[in-house]
Amino acid sequence: MTHAVHLRHVRRYDDPALEAHVAELLEASGCPVGRGERVLVKPNLVAPRNTALSCSHPAVVRAACLFALSRGAVVTVADSPAFGTGRIMARLTGLSAGLADLPVVVANLDQPRGLRLAHGGTIGVSRLALEADHIVNVARLKCHDQMGLTLAVKNFFGCVCGFRKSLAHQRLGRDRARFATMILDVLAALPPTTSLVDGIVAMHKAGPAFGEPFPLGLLGAAASPVALDTAIYALLGLRPEAVPLWREAGRLGLGGTRPEDIDYPLERPEAFDATGFVTPAQLAPLAFEPRRFVTGRLKSLMLTLRGGPGCR
């Protein structure tokens, strides 16, 4: 079975045609957003560090919202970041300001509902994500010190509520394949999705917060986040052994994990120059040291308290 992945060259976030390109990509991907449907636009709002590079760019998120609104959808923009809340991170990244004139709600992915995992145990996934009619998943193309890369599939981990992500690192982090399977379990539990990857300026060498910019000039979209990620892995010259999520998706027999099964109706991968893109040579441990885990939770709590009431 072939999977369509739609790629488009976009070199700048201030390109006047950016919104039209995003609409074209989502339309080509068959994004089934209809009038009155509850649509979650899910950006990557990882942490209040290096936000211009580590988080989904406000212009791309705005373009995705405009597409859904043009179809008559009821749009919520939300994430559950590693630090603080979705509302606080939206304000710090400039996303709230970029959406201020649109009839959308900016929220936090909270209200956890227990999801049973394939390898045992449960994890708390946001009710807002689970109960949406459709999710438009807006990921940032960037390296990840623990998982190699974070693209469309990894961005769904943000649907896990708050500190439960850190707990998952501690509980499952000894087994990278088990951790990857947990993310795939979360994806499988969600409503229908369409994924959009922002690689206009990607992050390479390190990540998910402290890498360096790489001007790839790429926007990509697909109905299958697995196929979209596979297209980008192949474009970057990677192999499944280097990317735990890709390797585990292939082991589970998920569609879209084989580059030869992907069709490119718009631009092809060879149109993009990834020469010099550097991924982590060695993956860092998934489980945090106890001191780092506690310090991270305290930082998140302080950021939330400083955000205070009134954060949009």
**pLDDT band at residue 180, thresholds of 50, 70 and 90?**
very high
* Cβ atoms of 250 and 257 closer than 8 Å: yes
**pLDDT given for residue 295 in this prediction:** 55
Could you tell me if residue 267 is left (phi over 0), alpha (psi between -120 and 50 degrees) or otherwise beta? beta
* Cβ atoms of 93 and 45 closer than 8 Å: yes
Q: In b/e form, how buried is each residue of 155-164, taking b as 16+ CB within 10 angstroms?
A: bbbbbbbbbb
**pLDDT band at residue 38, thresholds of 50, 70 and 90?**
very high
Q: Provide the sign of the torsion angle of the four alpha carbons 281, 56, 201, 140, taken in this order.
A: positive
Chain segment 202-223, per-residue pLDDT in tens: 999 999 999 999 999 999 999 9
**pLDDT given for residue 293 in this prediction:** 47
**pLDDT band at residue 300, thresholds of 50, 70 and 90?**
very low
**pLDDT given for residue 82 in this prediction:** 73
What is the number of other CB atoms lying within 10 angstroms of the CB of residue 35? 8
Mean pLDDT along residues 240-248: 96
**pLDDT given for residue 311 in this prediction:** 31
pLDDT at 297 over 60: no
* Cβ atoms of 67 and 23 closer than 8 Å: yes
CA distance 17 to 219: 12
The residue extents of the domains of the chain are 3-307
Question: Which spans in the chain are helix H?
Answer: 18-28, 51-54, 58-70, 86-93, 95-99, 127-130, 152-155, 164-172, 176-189, 225-235, 244-251, 290-307
Of the candidates 133, 128, 56, the one whose C-alpha atom is nearest the C-alpha of residue 98 is: 56
pLDDT at 310 over 60: no
**pLDDT band at residue 5, thresholds of 50, 70 and 90?**
very high
Q: Provide the sign of the torsion angle of the four alpha carbons 158, 163, 166, 168, taken in this order.
A: negative
Q: Which helix (H) or strand (E) holds 74?
A: strand 74-79
Mean pLDDT along residues 23-51: 95
pLDDT at 83 over 90: no
**pLDDT given for residue 288 in this prediction:** 55
pTM: 0.91
Rounded to the nearest integer, the mean pLDDT of the chain is 92
Mean pLDDT along residues 79-101: 92
Chain segment 116-170, per-residue pLDDT in tens: 999 899 999 999 999 999 999 999 999 999 999 999 999 999 999 988 888 887 8
Mean pLDDT along residues 20-29: 98
Distances (CA, A) of 53 to 174, 221, 293: 29, 19, 24
**pLDDT band at residue 307, thresholds of 50, 70 and 90?**
low
Cα 61–chain centre separation: 11
**pLDDT given for residue 166 in this prediction:** 82
Q: What fold does the segment set 3-307 form as a domain? A: Rossmann fold (3.40.50)
Mean pLDDT along residues 254-264: 97
**pLDDT given for residue 309 in this prediction:** 35
**pLDDT given for residue 262 in this prediction:** 98
Chain segment 64-79, per-residue pLDDT in tens: 999 999 999 999 999 9
**pLDDT given for residue 255 in this prediction:** 97
Mean pLDDT along residues 86-91: 94
On the CB side of 172, CA atoms within 13 Å amount to: 22
pLDDT at 270 over 50: yes
